[in-house]
Amino acid sequence: MNAHKSFEQSQKLWLQFIEKDCEFENTPSAMAQGAGSGLGLLACKHERYAARLKQMQNIVRELRELK
């Protein structure tokens, strides 16, 4: 399996995980706040995407250093 295909698969799984994890994390506020809980869901996703972006930037930097 090549690295590109492996990355695509891991990214798809990561996206699925983030969706379910943020939904789970947001469940208590969804029950308490109703429609306003969407902001909590968006905040969770924003945090996770920001962390993933930083992780990907570090990987790219490390790969460049290997050349």
Domain count for the chain: 1
- Alpha-carbon dihedral sign for residues 13, 26, 50, 59: negative
Instruction: Count Cβ atoms within 10 A of the Cβ of residue 34 and give its class: 0-12 exposed, 13-18 middle, 19 or more buried.
Output: exposed
Q: What would the pLDDT profile of 22-66 be if each residue is shown by its tens digit?
A: 999 888 776 666 666 788 889 999 999 999 999 999 999 998 898
Say whether pLDDT at 21 is over 90.
Answer: yes
- Alpha-carbon dihedral sign for residues 8, 10, 13, 18: negative
> Which amino acid makes up residue 12?
K
Per-residue model confidence (pLDDT) at position 28: 77
Domain that holds residue 15: 3-66
Per-residue model confidence (pLDDT) at position 4: 83
Q: List the beta strands (DSSP E) in the chain.
A: none
